[in-house]
Chain A
């Protein structure tokens, strides 16, 4: 067990407790100590003057690539990248090889994470066998093995009846179902947002309707079954509108937004650079504005990275043949602070932190994302005004596929603490 650690003079923001004031946070024996508790001798004291002390950040959407794709990323390297980005907990997606559709693979991930990862790694389980969208995965066994949510991320169940049964079945275990919203027949071979730029560039379009239709499907089925559905990496204006309407009626539907979908538009693809290729794709200005409005008005409750590492040689191919996805963990907080706080003033710091801590924790039903007494001693110290330049060569990821290399951002994490132990600091 690490030595006690005391954060002093920082602006402590703990949205779960409506706390936003300069004060101290003490972590003893890996958990947050009660207010006013005595400071044991040998406590490390961290002066956080001018900085924000927040609950450890949670990223609900990360691809760690193990097992099976360890040239792209490993649990250890992905965890380091997460720590450097201020994240103390990541939720890893099941589209590995083999996929996370059996208890043995889940157990393997948890053991490997315990041995090699410097942060908390929480696995999801596949909804269907081999994430093939045809038969239910052994959801009960996955739950027992320790998954925190179910998803076929990377794929989307097209058969509505199967989705309905998966939701009904998942409800028995209290697991949220997370969905990558993509209608295959509408999207076809689309590789970029369908619109002006796909017309100019001659690339196959991925229409916004291809996402919106599945978000609407999910609204309907969440209402029918009562099982919460979390719509991953939303990119389209219509998705926000459908989500807002459903939530206003109490339907258990939620949505997340990733940094690239608010930092970039489809015009960035004009050079056919595959580091701008992800799924769902970058969209046009009006979609970006709708996402920002959705974050501002509370329709969007979670921010996540969709960290998706790929090897250089895999990405350096013809645009339509390159894999989808970009790195996210180390640029995520910087982009959100830079865009949502400094540039656009969409939300304030407590709101932003809630989207990265207590909201994803509540969605999963885990006791994290807060500095409440007795909570895990996961703490992220943030300097919201620190100006820095993204350098892909400095990344802890095994991959380099970021479109943000060279970007100048304002704000980043300066120390990441897991269960009282500093796992990364600037």
Chain B
């Protein structure tokens, strides 16, 4: 009863019209996305950066919670697949007039939107839509629940740089409790055979996470030398006012990737961050720009991964099975 059963790992096809979460994905499904993304990545290096995979399809970027990076990435990914793209934000939608999420989405569907990319501050919002709409729904972050494409691009980047994921030790550091990135990452990475350690203050990394097959640590210095990958999460300033830690300064002194700490990392340890970064808080400014930092590779790979997800979900909804 602890978690949804993953599909059998022998499953090698993609049959999901929606991508709502990674918790229930099998290793084979995850690998299929990563392989598809690798194929799409080459598109970005061509003279004409466009393929006709979603030509004639309509994608709605429905961002109820503000985001620039993720929205732009989805928008560009859709454009490269030749889809028509509509961007909608909460302030531009009727949600501010009291229309419910369900009604707004049904209106979008009445316009024959094929894919709806949803960013929402409520956990479960993407699943809510996916259950009610024929359109494909891709979760671009729902509250503190999941952010599947972020974790897929993180996994893609790790695989690209390290040649494997299985057997690697990945540390995810910072505000875990409120992080959808952390949840999606730990589900994907553990499924793909990595060892994951969550690091942060005890207020933001509750022990319950251990039941998800990861380690929990409140001592970054002890964990540092063992890591193959360190993924630093953005610290939300408002956590301090809610007493999760005393000050940003103390957070940095205990959990920031300072120059001194970076020097204690393995030479080949990847430094990752989902952005936007707080220079000098969770990561030292020079460290963020250093050679081991793959933060900008993550952004580039995000495009390929989102192309893959849009392509696969749309195909599944259209009745095609991609193997």
Contact = CB atoms under 8 A, between A and B. Distances in A.
Interface stretch (A217-225, A315-323, A362-370, A400-408): A315-323
Contacts of A320: 122-124, 143
A203 B209 CA distance: 14
Contact of B206 (A199, A201, A318): A199
A267 B1 CA distance: 7
Contact of B3 (A200, A202, A319, A321): A200
Interface in B150-175: none
Given A272-B127, A317-B101, A199 B209 contact: yes
A281 to B, nearest CB: 14
Give the residue among B122, B143, B146 with the most A Cβ atoms within 10 A. B122
Taking residues whose C-beta sits less than 8 angstroms from the other chain, chain B's interface range is: 20 to 34
A195 interface: yes
B123 A202 contact: yes
A321 B127 contact: no
A200 B23 contact: yes
B124 A199 contact: no
B222 interface: no
Nearest to A318: B122
Contacts, number: 60
B139 to A, nearest CB: 11
Contacts of A271: 127
Interface in B199-216: 206, 208-209, 211-212
Nearest to A317: B100
Contacts of B111: none
A317 B2 CA distance: 25
A319 B123 contact: yes
Nearest to B178: A202
Contact of B180 (A202, A270, A272, A321): A202
A202 B146 contact: yes
Nearest to A320: B122
Contacts of A318: 101, 120, 122, 124-125, 128
Interface of B: 1-4, 23, 100-102, 120, 122-125, 127-128, 142-146, 177, 180, 183, 206, 208-209, 211-212
Given A200-B23, A318-B101, A319-B124, 15 more contacts: A199-B206, A201-B145, A202-B123, A202-B183, A203-B123, A203-B145, A267-B2, A272-B124, A272-B127, A317-B100, A318-B125, A319-B122, A319-B123, A320-B122, A320-B123
Interface of A: 195-196, 199-204, 267, 270-272, 313, 316-321
